[in-house]
Copies of this chain bind each other. A is one copy, B any other.
């Protein structure tokens, strides 16, 4: 089973929420992503099957090693792509929205160059 764009979004959202509260539950993810509990339930089930997350007896979601690595890498892309768009003059809203779509499809190679661009052009 391969992870898709949608799965990546769920992982990223969980990571983001974990920065705000200690226990992230399915309902938090659903609210944050503005999808139904049903959609979230199914998505999380798949992430469990893929061994990317673990849900404890209280419903708190935590990452496996691999899950965390994927979540962080997507989140990193999000942050850096947003930064990049801001650097070239895009407002934060648009920058973040575009980053959110591009983070799932850009190649590692191009992303590396985008990061270099940021280093050379920020400060």
Closest Cβ of chain B to A111, distance in Å, is: 9
A98 to B88, CA, bound (A): 19
Chain B positions within 8 Å of A105 at CB level: 98, 101-102, 105
Flag A79-123 by CB within 8 Å of B: 1 or 0 each: 000000100111100110110011001110110011011000000
Contact-size category for A: 20 to 34
CB–CB B101/A88 < 8 A? no
A5 to B55, CA, bound (A): 35
Closest Cβ of chain B to A2, distance in Å, is: 17
Instruction: Please give me the residue from chain B that is nearest to A106 by CB atom.
Output: B98
Which A residues have a C-beta under 8 Å from some C-beta of B? Answer: 85, 88-91, 94-95, 97-98, 101-102, 105-107, 109-110, 113-114, 116-117
